[in-house]
Structure 1
Amino acid sequence: MSTTLTYQEPELIALLKQQDETGFRYLYDNYSAALNGIILQIIPDQEQASDVLQEVFVNIWRRIDSYDSSKGRLFTWMLNIARNAAIDMTRSKAFQNSQKNRELDNDVHTKPDGSLSIQVDNIGLSKMIGQLKEEHRVLIDLAYLKGYTHEEIAGMLGIPLGTVKTRIRAALLQLRKTLT
C-alpha cells in the first residue's frame, strides 16, 4: 500500500526553501501539468513548451527564496514565472526564426487573423474571467493570455498607459476575490 504525501502550502514552501528534493518532486508532480497548460497557451509547440517548463522549474528552484506569501499564493507566483518565461521565449530571435520556418500544417492553433486560439476552459478560468467587466476582460485576455505588454495594449486600444495599468490591477483584484 503506497501512501501519497500531500503538503499544505506553508509546509511545501518550507521544504522548497530548504532545497528539499522530495518537496520539489511533489511540486513538479502536482503543478507541472497546470503550468504546462499556461505555457502551451502562449507557445503552441509542445517541444518548445516542454523546454520552457523545464526552465520554469529551474527558476522556481533557484528563486524560491524570493517568494513572499504575503503577496500571493505559491501557484500564482509560479504561474507568473511560467507566463513570463513563455513570453520571453516568443520574443527571442530563435523563436521568431522558428515561426518563420515552420510548415503551415503545424499551425492548427492559429485563427485566420493570426491570433492563437486559447482554450481558457482547460484551466478553469473562463467562468471567472467571464464575470469581469468587458473593459477588464479584454485587458486580462490581451495581457495574460496573449502576452502583450501594457504599452502594446495601450497602443492597440488607444487608451492611456496609466488607464491600462489601473484597469488591469482592478481586474486582478476582482479575480483574486473570486479565487479566495
Structure 2
Amino acid sequence: MILFTLLATIGKITHGNSDDEIELMKRIQARDEEAIEELYNLYNKLLFGMVISIVKKREEAEDVLQEIFVKIWNKADQFKPDRGNVYSWIVTLARNTAIDRIRSKGYKTQQKQSVSIHQPLFSLEGDKHDPMETTIFSDRAELVQKALDKIPEKQSKVIKIAYYRGMTQREISDHLDIPLGTVKTRTRQGMIKLKRILEEHISTDG
C-alpha cells in the first residue's frame, strides 16, 4: 500500500508501539468487550476524521466507522505486534474499509473526474470533539501537509491521488497519462523523502 510507510511513521508521533495499546489488542483477541470499547474511545475521533476525508459524507463516515470497529473485533487475531504497531494496523484497516465503501457505492466510475487534491489530508467534523484530541489531530495533519509541501509536486501529486481517490498505481498511470514506471518511481521517491522528513521531525521533538 502506497501510504503504509507514511502512516506507520506518523503513528510514532502520538501513538507509537504503545504497550497499553498492544495489551488492548490482546484483550480484544480474548473477546473482551470492554477492551473494544476502550479502543473505540481512543481512536474513534481520529478515524472519523480520516474516513470523512475519503467518503466526504458524514452519514457514510459514521457507518464506515462502525464497520471498522466490527472488523477490528472480527480480525483482531490478524494483528501481530512483531510486524507493526497498533496505530498502523488500525489506520490501514480503516483506510481500506473507506476505499471499499466508495467503490461499492459507484464512486469508481467518477475517479477520472476532476476533484481537489489540495484539501487537508485529514479533517475533523462536528462540534463534539475533545479539544485536546482535536489539537493532536490537527498537529498531525499540519505536519503531513508541510511534509508533502517539501517534496516535488509531481511526487506529492501521485501520493495524494492514491490517498484521496484510492487509485492503484495502474489507475494513476491511466489518469495522469504517464507510464506506470514513472508513477512507481515518483511514488517511491516521494515516500522516501516523506519518511525522512517525518523521522527528522520525530527525532528533533524527541
TM-score by shorter chain over 0.5: yes
Which of 72, 77, 81 is matched with 2:89 structurally?
77
Q: Deviations over 1:119-168 (max 9, x none)?
A: 22634131232233333211210111232222110112233334433543
Q: How many residues of Structure 1 are paired with residues of Structure 2 in the alignment?
A: 160
Q: CA RMSD in A?
A: 2.9
Alignment correspondent of 1:141 = 160
The code of the aligned residue for 1:130 comes to: D
Query: In structure 2, what is the Cα distance between the partners aligned to 1:56 and 1:172?
Result: 26
Q: Deviations over 1:51-110 (max 9, x none)?
A: 111111111111121123344322222112221111111112xx239xx9xxxxxxxxxx
Alignment correspondent of 2:169 = 150
The normalised TM-score by structure 1 is 0.73
Answer whether contact 2:22 2:86 (CA < 8 A) is retained: no
5+ residue gaps, structure 2, are 1-17, 124-136
**Residues 70 and 19 (structure 1), Cα distance of their counterparts in 2 relative to 1, 3 Å cut:** same
Query: In structure 1, what is the Cα distance between the partners aligned to 2:21 and 2:96?
Result: 23
Query: In structure 2, what is the Cα distance between the partners aligned to 1:14 and 1:173?
Result: 32
The code of the aligned residue for 1:77 comes to: W
The code of the aligned residue for 1:120 comes to: L
1:60 maps to 2:72:
yes
The normalised TM-score by structure 2 is 0.65
Query: In structure 2, what is the Cα distance between the partners aligned to 1:144 and 1:90?
Result: 13
Query: In structure 2, what is the Cα distance between the partners aligned to 1:63 and 1:119?
Result: 30
Question: Alpha-carbon deviation of 1:49?
Answer: 1.2
| Structure showing greater relative contact order (alpha-carbon pairs closer than 8 Å, 6 or more residues apart) | 2
Alignment correspondent of 1:24 = 36
Instruction: For residue 178 of structure 2, give the secondary structure of its aligned residue in structure 1.
Output: coil
**Residues 37 and 80 (structure 1), Cα distance of their counterparts in 2 relative to 1, 3 Å cut:** same
Alignment correspondent of 1:109 = none
5+ residue gaps, structure 1, are 1-5, 101-111
Answer whether contact 1:43 1:86 (CA < 8 A) is retained: yes
Which of 129, 147, 151 is matched with 1:128 structurally?
147
Q: What percentage of aligned pairs have identical amino acids?
A: 34
The code of the aligned residue for 2:106 comes to: Q
